[in-house]
Amino acid sequence: MTAQETIQVRVVKKQAEAEGIASFELARVDGAALPPFSAGSHIDVHLPGGLTRQYSLCNASHESHRYRIAVLRDPASRGGSVAMHDSVHQGDVITISTPRNHFALHPAQRTVLLAGGIGVTPLLCMADRLARTGADFALHYCTRSAERTAFAAEIAASAMAPRVHFHFDAGPAEQKLDIAAVLAAPGPDKRLYVCGPAGFIDHVVNSAKALGWAQDHIHLEYFGAPAQDTSGDQGFDVRIASTGKVYAIAPDVSVVEALRKEGIDILTSCEQGVCGTCLTRVLEGEVDHRDMYLTDEEKAANEQFMPCCSRARSKLLVLDL
């Protein structure tokens, strides 16, 4: 697997967008146009201290002079959001990847976008694209309060405004999200996109399925994988197909970590099973999937896995490395 192409960019603007949320506008250091991207794309941001984190692009997808991301400061995170808020400043030069899209828009007669908190970032770009193309859509934006709602004024002043509905946990009952009403009357010409905290996504997806939405018309993107119960983890072996060498994977060590110690580097980014960077082909053995990237069908096929977080149900996994 080859490394993702990187770009040097300058933080041309950093500003507060809501309580605990900052946006970062990035432009190429050399002044050239940035690589094109489509709605739903994200970039890797290389942070001080060796961290790499993924952030969705939330500016209009036709823009080539800038990328914009927004980051929620989360003290409970693994350090990325705190580093963005405390260590990345306006004027700084940072390294990012070229955009990737695992959350792309599909053609539909009707598109429903459901955002939970900072999960609005990829959906904001989608809503802009849908509004510009005259598509039929609605964006339901759920936050704790108005003070925690990023880009509210910008949305209100945009072409998408009539199609955006705000729902505040702290607000009156009549403005709260009525999930059954929003997801009523599913059909083959409708698509649902949801992004936000894991609990929010699970609630929306489970509600959609209960209301008759087809699995392949529900599209989602997690920002972080839910915690796993690792108390029963067992050791297993991994064989590298190209060399035939076998390596033991201890119960408390990931495949990526174990192979890295043996000089075998697998390209990673989030190391939570969210981004898909470390996707590896499995030639033999049964996988214990723990990622949030592969679909249920892809997991059932047992042909690929995420070595940053997933493990083995069998005693041996043979990997196409």
pLDDT at 1: 36
**138: nearest Cα among 105, 157, 156, 164:** 164
Query: pLDDT tens digit string along 265-279?
Result: 998 877 778 778 899
**96: nearest Cα among 223, 4, 24, 1:** 4
Q: How many C-beta atoms lie closer than 10 Å to residue 70's C-beta?
A: 23
Which residue has better confidence, 138 or 215?
138
pTM: 0.80
- Residues 55 and 42 sit within 8 Å (Cβ to Cβ): yes
Torsional class of 73: left (φ above 0), alpha (ψ -120 to 50), beta (otherwise): beta
Domains of the chain: 6-97 (2.40.30.10), 110-222 (3.40.50.80), 236-319 (3.10.20.30)
Torsional class of 180: left (φ above 0), alpha (ψ -120 to 50), beta (otherwise): alpha
49: which DSSP letter?
A: T
Instruction: Say yes or no to pLDDT of 199 above 90.
Output: no
**Average pLDDT, integer, range 281-306:** 92
Query: pLDDT tens digit string along 72-91?
Result: 998 766 667 888 999 999 99
- The CA angle 99-304-238, to the nearest 5 degrees, is 120
- Residues 195 and 203 sit within 8 Å (Cβ to Cβ): no
